[in-house]
Chain A
Amino acid sequence: MKDIKTIELDQGGGGEKSSQLISLIRKNLKVKSRWKNTDDDAAVFDLAYFPEAKKREKLLFTTDGFIVDPVFFPGGDIGKIAMCGTINDLCVMGARPLGISLSLIVEEGFPENDLLKIIRSINQVSRETGVPIVTGDTKVTEKGKLDRIEITTAGVGLAEKIIANNGARIGDAIIVSGNLGEHAVALLSQRFNYQTRIKSDCQPLIQEIGSVLPYLSAAKDPTRGGLSAILNEMADKARVKFVLAEKNLPFCRETAALSELLGIDKFAFPSEGRFIATVSKKNAAKVLNRLRKFNPSAKIIGRVEKGRGVFLETNLSVLKRIEVPRGKLIPRIC
């Protein structure tokens, strides 16, 4: 039996072996950027580099932890989701991401090749988006004290105009950038032994949001909690009512089928590469056309009205309330 190289406890100790592991990781994260001191305690970015920066730009800062199970899934892995998660959190606020920090905690015995695969995934997102990893940390715990690997990313970005989550206005259209829940489908099908062509929807949203940024009154990405959690948050914060049309539900047939098969509400299925936005009626068609160039399943799913709450108009013409999901949802999905 081939001897698989695994991560040793020593490599998290801060000594020689740690330095070697960090060198190995850094060798695989090569994206040029203006950040300096990236091997220091904190990385440095000189704001003088932005001659075009208008005085009113704001600095945004976000962080996320990732414990997804399984670590490798159709359409991505924990590295990809860690990068996209933090990049997207900045993008849906209207920011352009400047740099990401990467903290890894690895269980002793985790195969080195798997770790490198994950690092390369991170690097790939970094290359595609131009967003660099500028600082990081690596620790190793004893076997059994952690399940394989955990990643925490933090990110900073700059934005001229913030798209808050409370900006929805009466009369706006509610638009999604594509069919939802496919990240959940990819993971759940692995866990419960179903086969499907569906891959995780995990992807960075920089270009998509960038193409329609000025027209968005509010935006959020439906990760944990899925569509129902996000819509309730947006409607609640803006003090408006959202009404969705049953014939425009943004789920592909496989997502609907898996939801029924498992008895888990698809409205709670997270996506990791989609966003939901409210757009004024006059700009809705323009936004939709631009988004459809990235994803043909982008669609208008409902409208913003006076009142409170989130509702679905059923095929029996009854308004049914969509509630914030409660209870034990899907564990370890991101």
Chain B
Amino acid sequence: MTTKTRQITKQIFAKAETVGRPLKFMELCGTHSRSIARHGIKQILPSNITLVTGPGCPVCVTDQEDIDIIVGLAANKIPVAVYGDTVNVPGTVSSLEKERRRGADVNIVYDTTQALVLAKVKPGLVFFGLGFETTAPMTAWAIKNGLIAYSAHKLFPPAMAALLAHKAIKIDGFINPGHVSAIIGTKVYEQFKVPQVIAGFSGLDVLKAIDMLLSQIIARNPKVENEYGRVVKPEGNGAARDLIAEVFRITDARWRGLGVIAASGLKIKKKYREQDAEFVHHDLIGKIKSKIKIKPSACRCGEILQGLIEPRACPLFGKACTPDTPYGACMVSVEGACHIEMTAKLLFDIMPKSNFKRPLKSTGI
């Protein structure tokens, strides 16, 4: 353990003891969830601090209807292009991977530039635009350059507001997303009167952020702090935001698990309707929607996405639902809470020296 890390961990233990009561911090970005797992952060925190995974996994929060629509388009012989994890998300009756095996033209792309190149040889290609303010500008750029897209993009701050308004969960602090913040800046978070720290992705970044949250709590002074100043500027990226505003309009949107959140979705403006799959394939999409029958399921992704329960509490976790045989989105995506829980098995080895009296929690692996 490096000296810096040891020092911060000591500080965290001392401050956690000062606060005394149990604290719940929510990390809001799927990449943070992965970093936390990768570095074993949960294993070196004092037992009164719980880290909860929030709805920061773009694939996980995409609504079932959106998945069914893109799967339906593929099944109807329309070439589609998607980001990696999306192919395995189970829709109501099928998935993109299943359709690909049946002969559908499903293409995995790493970026929208690749999608545009593909569209030249596969005319009519529909790109599945999902993700938050970090990926919306790339979709917008591609739409302006002629790509047809189906937008399931979402805005992050409204989801934070919805989480805070929820009675069932009390969040004592947020670890705010790194790259969403690089786009939207830091001021937009000031509306939430809760301790917040925008953090980078290394183990040390996350620990620093937790230390800063604890200081805010001790000082009873909730504010928005930026630990990731080397990338996130207070004003964010204006060019990216302008691009989003030029191509998209804000609508209400349904999030898996959180339900409908007002003004939280992005749909393509009328001006670009020739590039909007919802316009180009209006009738087909209507047909697909009418066939969707949401079946009741034991899958508890919805509650997991809100941080209400741990993956373990879902009856399917680790049994019917595994990374190889995923039932729900949270298990499919590498940033999903369930996937992370199942694949990031960590064994606690060395404990930092602390004089915190309460016993450290069991590793629970």
Contact = CB atoms under 8 A, between A and B. Distances in A.
Interface of A: 192, 262-263, 309, 311, 313-321, 323, 326-327
A263 to B, nearest CB: 7
B110 A315 contact: no
Given A323-B343, A326-B323, A318 B350 contact: yes
Contact of B346 (A262, A315, A318, A326): A318
A316 B39 CA distance: 7
A317 B323 contact: no
B1 A263 contact: no
Nearest to B41: A316
Given A317-B352, A326-B343, 19 more contacts: A262-B110, A263-B334, A314-B38, A315-B1, A315-B203, A316-B1, A316-B5, A316-B40, A316-B203, A317-B350, A318-B40, A318-B43, A318-B44, A318-B347, A318-B350, A319-B347, A319-B349, A321-B347, A323-B345
A320 B2 contact: no
B40 A314 contact: yes
Contacts of A316: 1, 5, 39-41, 44, 203
Contacts of B110: 192, 262
Contact of A327 (B1, B5, B323): B323
Contact of A319 (B39, B84, B346, B352): B346
Interface in B307-365: 323-324, 334, 343-350, 352
A320 B39 CA distance: 8
Contacts of B343: 323, 326
A318 B44 CA distance: 8
B40 A320 contact: yes
A316 to B, nearest CB: 5
B347 A317 contact: no
Nearest to B5: A316
A318 B348 contact: yes
A314 B323 CA distance: 24
Interface string B1-27: 110010000000000000000000000
B39 A314 contact: yes
A262 B111 CA distance: 11
Nearest to B83: A263
A318 B38 CA distance: 10
A144 to B, nearest CB: 16
Contacts of A320: 38, 40, 344, 346-347
A311 B323 contact: no
Contacts of B203: 314-316
Interface in B28-81: 38-41, 43-44
A321 B363 CA distance: 13
A319 B348 contact: yes
Nearest to A309: B347
Given A262-B110, A326-B323, A327-B324, A317 B349 contact: yes
A327 B1 CA distance: 32
Contacts of B349: 313, 317-319
B318 to A, nearest CB: 14
B347 A263 contact: no
Contacts of A319: 346-349
A290 B14 CA distance: 50
Nearest to B6: A317
List 10 A-B pairs, minimum CB-CB distance, nearest first: A318-B40, A319-B349, A317-B350, A317-B1, A321-B345, A319-B347, A316-B203, A318-B43, A320-B346, A316-B39
30 contacts: A192-B110, A262-B110, A263-B84, A313-B349, A314-B38, A314-B39, A314-B40, A314-B203, A315-B1, A315-B2, A315-B203, A316-B5, A316-B40, A316-B41, A316-B44, A318-B39, A318-B43, A318-B347, A318-B349, A318-B350, A319-B346, A319-B348, A320-B38, A320-B40, A320-B347, A321-B347, A323-B345, A326-B323, A326-B324, A327-B323
